[in-house]
Amino acid sequence: RIVYCSISGYGQQGPLAERGAYDHVIQALTGMMMMSGDSEESPPIKVGFPVIDVAVGMLGALSITAALHKMDENNPGKRAGGYIDASMLQASLMLMYPHACNYLSRDIEPKRVGNRGYTGSPTADTYQCLDGWLSVAANTPEQFRKLTRVLGMESVCEDAQLLDLEKFNAPQGGFVVAKDLPTLRAKFQEAFSRKSAFEAETELNLVGIPAARVRRIGEFLHEGTNKGAISTTAYEHAAGNVLTPGLGFQLQGMNRSGNPAPELGSDTRALLESIGMNANDIEQLQSAGVITVAQALV
């Protein structure tokens, strides 16, 4: 009945299985570093936090949940166990899934786009303003038209040298496609250079254009908690009280557990006693370094 999940750098099988791994090493190996940067000539740049460490933990939790659900579905009332092999390498490719599929299916290497958005629309980009940087996602023709109205650049919407007007005016919609991206980017950058990022964020969101002033994490957490955009959760832990932004979701109708994750070894004694081991046997295993026994949190 046990679902067992192993998390490693490269998986349990294959020629890389015995290698050690850290987040930035996997980023280098899998191509993630080479996707970050302003141009093809830029040096490789890793993501600014251990993204793969986080992702493989989420992948492990998701896979365990999926396994439990599948086994209950196939064997109601009599769940069979299963073994899961999750790796940092797999997590990295999962995060880059569209690019990995594009290469495997069509031999297309992704190009570096810097701070431009994934859609490729010319105004899915980040601009320097009077008081900082502003990230904008005017991806569709409708959003693009609204942006040009805010900036007083409506004539761009009729310029066949700058835009693919056939796609821009197509009834089925889609993303904006540039014909002369460098010129178009320069025009919008010049317009944003005269605006306040702080004011433009509010102005653009009011007309339905996703936009955000670039912030540091501390600035956002201070602002978000004060304005109620995020809620914090306090945990009592052996290492001290910890204030967190939660686990990324809220499940309505269910209260979260107030218990923190157990310390390494805090359940060992109770578990071994439950299967019939006596105190002397447990002490011998602990003395030999086979197990870790810690004080359980109250």
Q: According to the model, what pLDDT value does residue 297 have?
A: 46
pLDDT of res. 77: 64
φ/ψ of residue 55, rounded to 5 = -65, -40
What pLDDT, on a 0 to 100 scale, did the predictor assign at position 258? 60
pLDDT tens, 237-276? Answer: 766 788 888 777 777 776 665 666 778 888 999 999 999 9
Residue 85 DSSP symbol = E
Give the pLDDT confidence score for residue 298 in this predicted structure: 40
pLDDT beneath 50, residues of the chain: 297-298
Contact in structure between 27 and 35 (CB atoms under 8 Å): no
- Give the dihedral of Cα atoms 124, 125, 126, 129; nearest 10 deg: -80
Closest CA to 292 of 269, 271, 270, 260: 269
Strands 82-87 and 124-129: unpaired
